[in-house]
Amino acid sequence: MLQWLLPVLIFAVWSLWHVACVLGAALKDARQPLPEGQRRAVSILPGIPVFPLAFWGLAWAIDQVVNPWGAILVGAFHVVFGGSLVFAVVRDLREIRKIDRPN
C-alpha cells in the first residue's frame, strides 16, 4: 500500500499546481480584463502526465542506487512544493475576492 503513496502525492501536487496556474490567470484577468473571447487559459500539459511521471521515475532510479532515498527526497520536495502552492492558491483567491467585491 505504501508504494502507491508517492505517486498519489506527486500527482496530487501537480494537480494543485494546475489550480494555482488557473487562479494566477484568473487574477490577471481580474486585474487587467480582456475581451470575453480573449481570456487567458492554462494547459494541462506538461504538468499532467509528464512532470509527475518524470519525478516518479527519478525517485525509482535513485531508489535503485540508495533505497529509500529517492522516495524520501522526491516526496519531501513535493511536500514543500505543495505547501508553497497552497499558499499561492489562498493568496490568489483572497486577491480575486478583493477585486470582485463591490465597493
pLDDT the model gives residue 103: 64
Residue 82 placed within a domain: yes
pLDDT average, residue stretch 50-70: 95
Residue 12 placed within a domain: yes
Q: What is the tally of structural domains in the chain?
A: 1
Per-residue DSSP letters for 37-67? GG------TTTTTHHHHHHHHHHHHHHHHST
Residue 13 placed within a domain: yes
Residue 1 placed within a domain: no
* Structural domain boundaries enclosing 42: 7-100
Asked if 69 and 63 count as a contact pair (C-beta separation under 8 A), the reply is yes
Can you tell me the distance from the alpha carbon of 71 to that of 81, in angstroms, rounded to the nearest whole number?
A: 15
**pTM given for the model:** 0.89
Can you tell me the distance from the alpha carbon of 10 to that of 82, in angstroms, rounded to the nearest whole number?
A: 9
- Average pLDDT across the chain, whole number: 92
**Residue that is written with C-alpha cell 497552497 in the block:** 86
